[in-house]
Chains A and B, each alone.
Chain A
Amino acid sequence: MVSNYYFLNVVRFLLLVLVQVLVFNKLNFFGFINPMVYILFLYWYPIKENRAAFIGLGFLLGIAIDFFSDTMAIHAASTITIAYMRPAIMRFVFGVNFEFQSFKLSNTTRVQQITFLALLIIVHHFVFFTLEIFSLDNFLLILKKVLATGTGTLILCLLFGSLFSVRKE
């Protein structure tokens, strides 16, 4: 069971990296929208795991995407930010009960799941585009990109989420 668990996460990691760089990096919807579906890895990752390992994995995931898309280490920086902030976001969305042993993502309401995912995406995209554009003169451009790409990412993540969701037991 335990090895199965790790296996699932490794496969998920590799598949999300490949899907991201081979499909979604080339999408260029409306000329600039490239949804970042790899955020799903951080959304799906088990909650009770070691936090340090989680941040480390986030870094690896980001750097893997960076290698393919020639973006220096911007993906890595934004991914570790949401990896670090995930418990805070979860406490905000689910209240204190996410710290209980019996807590499961699949037991929460749909609205809570979407809010959680949306917050992860907004924080991630905001860090990402701020670093990518790297000037406050273009603040409106940053906001535009965050909103447009964020919407695209959210829709695609929800679609992926319902395709590969864990069965409710």
Chain B
Amino acid sequence: MQQIINFIIRYKNFLLYVFLMIVSLGFTIQSHSYHQSRFFNSSNWVTGNILRTSNNVSTYFGLDQENQKLMEENTYLRKLLFNRTQIDTTVLDSVQQTYTITTAKVIKNSFADPRNYITIDKGRKDSVQPDMGVITSKGILGIIENTSNNFSTVQSILNEKSNINAKIKNTDHFGSLVWNMKQYNIVQLVDIPRLVPLTIGDTIVTGGMSSIFPEGIPIGTIRKFDLNTSKSFYNIDVALFNDMTNIKNVYIVKNTYREEILELEKQTETNGQ
């Protein structure tokens, strides 16, 4: 007994180090396998408010550019609206809308890590929930991962855990959008079968297979493609439309039927077994 106590006293620094190391590795590895840790994220009260204060100052330096972007988007939407052939008033009924949109501001952005997260200034109070889609006026951005009362963190498409259903525009050939952690303006589209005709410059949009994003949100254009090692699927490099280094205003997309879809899928799964 005496010896054990002596041992502990003698090596207390080493034991403390090992203990703290195990704690931090535990947090890290746990989130590698499943989800970002619930507590270790920048959407909590203290970090959220500090980041927002800092962002309040820095947003003034990009107002011109940001206005320009919003004007361009408005022009595009106006064009769509004026050139519509039939006026459909029933769409305005909120009960029939499949997707609802909330705006938010980015208060922290990162794109240089293997797992990038973006923090935005809307949270549970604005009925933002995990697994909603986040887009910008130019294209897709990511998926909500954690929420607090006033803030949320977004798992960016520049995240090695990100996996989003995408397809080639005007076709129904879909694959998964992943990121190889190398460049912040290029993501990879995999699992497109070999028989699909591809051209450099083709547009990639989100597919209809996910219950998170609406179909047809722009992602980027094909920059380069080659066959994978098994020679049956393409590996495609996609140049993003979004400039991931400069993002200020985002839209949060909510699919109102998501719960229903998930429930149905779960039922089918349990029945099938």
Contact = CB atoms under 8 A, between A and B. Distances in A.
Contacts of B31: 72
Interface of A: 18, 21-22, 25-26, 28, 31-34, 51-52, 55-56, 59, 62-63, 66-74, 76-77, 80-81, 83-84, 131-134, 138, 141
A74 B13 contact: no
Contacts of A81: 17, 21
B112 interface: yes
Contacts of A26: 109
B60 interface: no
A76 B112 contact: no
A64 B12 CA distance: 24
Contact of B114 (A21, A55, A69, A132): A132
Contacts of B32: 134
A66 B39 CA distance: 11
Contact of B24 (A34, A51, A67, A80): A80
A68 B40 contact: no
Contacts of A68: 42, 47, 50-51, 108
Given A32-B112, A68-B51, A80 B20 contact: yes
Contacts of B17: 55, 80-81, 83-84
Given A52-B12, A72-B27, A80 B21 contact: yes
A72 B245 contact: no
A83 B17 CA distance: 9
A31 B112 contact: yes
A77 B32 CA distance: 15
Contacts, number: 101
A60 B190 CA distance: 41
Top 3 closest A-B pairs, CB basis?
Answer: A73-B24, A70-B117, A77-B24
- Chain B contact residues (Cβ within 8 angstroms of A): what range? 35 or more
Contact of A52 (B13, B46, B183): B13
B150 interface: no
Interface of B: 12-14, 16-17, 20-21, 23-28, 31-32, 36-37, 40-42, 44, 46-47, 50-51, 54, 108-115, 117, 119, 153, 181, 183-184, 245
Contacts of A31: 111-112, 183-184
Contacts of A67: 40-42, 44, 46-47
A67 B50 CA distance: 12
A69 B115 CA distance: 10
A52 B44 CA distance: 29
Nearest to A22: B54
B113 A71 contact: yes
A51 B112 contact: no
A132 to B, nearest CB: 6
Nearest to A70: B117
Contact of A28 (B27, B54, B245): B245
B159 to A, nearest CB: 10
7 contacts: A67-B42, A73-B25, A77-B25, A80-B24, A131-B25, A133-B114, A138-B181
A131 B24 CA distance: 11
Given A28-B112, A132-B113, A132-B115, 20 more contacts: A18-B50, A22-B50, A28-B111, A34-B112, A52-B12, A52-B13, A55-B17, A59-B20, A63-B24, A67-B46, A67-B47, A68-B50, A69-B42, A70-B36, A80-B21, A81-B21, A83-B17, A84-B14, A133-B181, A134-B114
